[in-house]
Amino acid sequence: MSDPLGITAQGLETLQRRNKRTDLAALERVIRDYAVKEIVVGLPLRMSGAEGTQSDKMQMFAEELRKRFRLPVHLWDERLTSAEANRLLRETELSIEKRAKAVDRMAAVLILQGWMEGRGR
C-alpha cells in the first residue's frame, strides 16, 4: 500500500497462495478494506531485461485483475527486488526465521516504491 499521497510504500501482510478462488477473494478484501485505486504487479524479467514464460503469466494475471476488479493494473520490473530485500533485512536485528518471512513483503514494498518513483519522473 502507499500512503494517501502516493509518496511512500508500506508493506501489508503477505497473502499465502492457496487456489485461484481463495486468492482472488483475499485480494478483493484487501482492495475493499484499503480502498485500492490502482494495482502494481511485479513483472519477472530476465537479467537481460527480456520477457520470458513467467512474464507472460504475469501479463495474463494482470489482465485478469483488470477485468475482475475494474482497476488500472500496472506491471513493474521486479528484478533483484528479493535480493535487495534480503540485503536490507540483513541490516536489521531480525532473526533469520523472521527475516525469511519478511522478504516477500519488503520486495513488494520495493516494487511499489520503484513504480511510484518511476511514475513521478
User: Is the pLDDT at 89 greater than 90, yes or no?
Assistant: no
pLDDT at 40: 97
User: Is the pLDDT at 121 greater than 70, yes or no?
Assistant: no
Q: Where are the domains of the chain?
A: 16-79, 80-121
pLDDT at 99: 80
Dmax over CA atoms of the chain, in Å, equals 42
Rounded to whole angstroms, the Cα distance separating 109 from 2 reads 9
Rounded to whole angstroms, the Cα distance separating 7 from 111 reads 13
**Which range, of 59-63, 89-93, 112-116, averages the lowest pLDDT?**
89-93
Quick one: the chain helix, strand, coil %, rounded to 5? Answer: 55, 10, 35
pLDDT at 5: 87
pLDDT at 4: 87
Residues 40-57 have a mean pLDDT of 93
pLDDT at 11: 92
**Fold assignment, 16-79:** Nucleotidyltransferase; domain 5 (3.30.420)
Residues 14-37 have a mean pLDDT of 95
